[in-house]
Amino acid sequence: MSNEDLQDLCRKWQRTLRLQDWFVTVSYARFRELTDGAQANVAINFEKRAAQIRIMEPSDYPTTDIIAPQDIEQALVHELLHLHFASFDDKISEFERTAEEQVLNALAAAFVGREVS
């Protein structure tokens, strides 16, 4: 999937998730550019309603010792869902952050019609 295809997919999901009022860019990033070995991440500017999503470059995704293959669409939806929760993220505990990530994983999987891994 090209960067242009990725941006088109992002616009589709922004409409589905009612996030059209956000300016969102999405692109691939190398493994070393993502924090803590994440598959994807999002940088949010809540005041400007702008976000930058970076998804791990498919060639960097491990092919052995993994729980599930890379799912670019599910990762994108997960990161977009963070935008709905952004205003609640100021001072949450590590436990709450983990719980939020689990909820977003489940919601993203449900939206794209995948099993939760």
Taking only the tens of pLDDT, the chain with its 117 residues reads: 888 999 999 999 999 999 999 999 999 998 888 877 788 999 999 899 999 999 999 888 877 666 777 889 999 999 999 999 888 767 788 888 889 889 999 999 999 987 665
Look at residue 116 in the predicted model and tell me its pLDDT.
Answer: 62
Task: For residues 76 and 92, give the distance between their C-alpha atoms in angstroms, rounded to a whole number.
Answer: 23
How distant, in Å, are the alpha carbons of 44, 107, 111 from that of 116?
A: 25, 9, 11
Would you say how long the chain is, in residues?
A: 117
pLDDT of residue 70: 80
Instruction: State whether the Cα torsion 57-31-87-96 is positive or negative.
Output: positive
Structural domains of the chain in order of their starting residue, each with its CATH number: 3-112 (3.30.2010)
Distance CA 58, CA 98 (A): 25
